[in-house]
Amino acid sequence: MSISRICAVDVGNDAVKAVFGKLDYELYIPNVIARDTADRPVIGIEDLNEKNPIDGIHIRVHSPALMDNNAIYRVGDLATKSDNASELDPGSSKSEEDQTLVMLFASLALDAVREENASIFKRNNNVVDANYTLGTGLPLREVKEGKDVGYRSQLLGSVHQVEFLVTPKYQGLKVNIKFDQVKVYPEGFAAYINLVMDNDLNIINRDLIDKNILIQDIGGLSTDIAVIKNRNVDDDKAQGFNLGVAEALEAIREEIRSKHGIELDSRRDVVDIITRKNDRNHIMVRGSRTSVHDITDRILVDLAKKQYRHLRNVWQKNSQTEICYFVGGGSMVLKEYLKTLNNNLDGYNIEFFEDEKESIWMMANAYYKLISDFVRKTEKAASKVAKEPVKQSANK
């Protein structure tokens, strides 16, 4: 019987964050893909296997769940260097995009082919058969629309194959991915779980457990505001909006290009300029350190005002709210702007995570806690059934 490996994958609009096994491996891959051909040119091909596979993900993906089946992609950092790089567009639904599935399958395949997993997954010649129990999530808006059901059914019941083409160390390997179980969680609920519980779902934050709280999760393409009352998400009052930071990042990227003639590879580069500790809001133009503060401030202040308006509207409808937590990669981009607005306007009780990694990895960690708990309960129930005595027939 094949072993099913636990995985928790947050296909974020900026990047994929994935956690595997007993927290023995994690992956961070920029959510960028580019269509490609089978034989991408490589300078110094004899050194290919000395490089990090994450830096050169070049794959063919075959799956009945894909609209564009059997296509070839550059993924992650390698894709950002392409002229035809694709990031998720504002207004799109994560559950209905091929890009979401390509990033998910690529992440699992990169885990499956690791030498450390040779004893877990069966390998026949160059083909690895990998079984996973997946915890993942979708924006609250999509879950309320019932799109989680279709997304889950796409993954279950089929074999999804990733073939590594010109990828360091893994060139020529194929991975057949099957899912034994898939759980799709609403992102707002997952954020709450991560705030108050540890990996065994023991309560670690008793100050929050019985409070009325909001969790505003700002992503690349969407924002979810979860309303937590009596330890549960209030589905009726929770809100999802098609407003993330992606559009603002694209506007900054375009204005830098038109004003300074500098071409940034992806939104990830813009985020780096905005959030890095040294030389924040500066770029190099013809070798000279140049401020882009005027561009970033104007565009991000406008976005922060829109996000703050959503906070105000939801808080007014839930007047007994005690605190709002801002989470997600977008909240890190807008943190200082939102704090300034709040200080100058309503003065709500709001909180940010000073640990950038904790905020960015919050969803993946939450999915891990939830899927691990599901597996524990399933195994416990199966064990209980196995131990029950077999009833003897009355007509012996």
Give me the tens of pLDDT residue by residue for the chain, a chain 396 residues long: 468 999 999 998 888 999 999 999 999 999 999 999 887 766 555 467 778 999 999 999 999 999 999 999 999 999 988 888 887 777 678 899 999 999 999 999 999 999 999 999 999 989 999 999 999 999 888 888 899 999 999 999 899 999 999 999 999 999 999 999 999 998 777 778 877 888 777 888 777 777 899 999 888 888 888 898 877 778 778 788 888 898 999 999 999 999 999 988 888 889 889 888 888 889 999 899 999 999 999 999 999 999 999 999 999 999 999 999 998 888 888 999 999 999 999 899 999 876 777 778 888 999 999 999 899 888 888 777 777 765 555 454
CB 129 within 8 A of CB 176: yes
Token representation of residue 275: 């959030």
Token representation of residue 296: 């970033």
Beta-bridged to residue 283, according to DSSP, are: 290
Query: Tokens 């499956």 identify what position?
Result: 112
Residues 57/13/216/279 CA torsion (nearest 10 deg):
70
Q: How far apart, in whole angstroms, are the C-alpha atoms of residue 274 and residue 383?
A: 52
- Show the DSSP H helices in the chain as ranges: 77-80, 98-112, 140-144, 147-155, 187-196, 206-209, 246-260, 267-275, 293-317, 329-344, 356-360, 362-387
Which pLDDT does position 389 carry in this prediction?
Answer: 67
Token representation of residue 73: 């992609």
Q: How far apart, in whole angstroms, are the C-alpha atoms of residue 382 and residue 292?
A: 59
Which pLDDT does position 45 carry in this prediction?
Answer: 52
Closest CA to 223 of 309, 133, 330, 113: 330
**Angle in degrees, CA 338, 307, 190, rounded to 5:** 95
pTM above 0.95, yes or no: no
Domain boundary assignment for the chain:
4-189+362-374
Query: Tokens 């300029």 identify what position?
Result: 273
Beta-bridged to residue 379, according to DSSP, are: none
Which pLDDT does position 249 carry in this prediction?
Answer: 92
Contacts with 79 (C-beta within 8 Å, 6 or more apart), sequence order: 30, 32, 33, 34, 57, 73, 85, 86
Q: How far apart, in whole angstroms, are the C-alpha atoms of residue 343 and residue 321?
A: 18
Residue 304 has a CB neighbour count (10 Å cut-off) of 23
- What single-letter amino acid sits at 234? D
What fold does the segment set 4-189+362-374 form as a domain? Nucleotidyltransferase; domain 5 (3.30.420)
CB 8 within 8 A of CB 364: yes
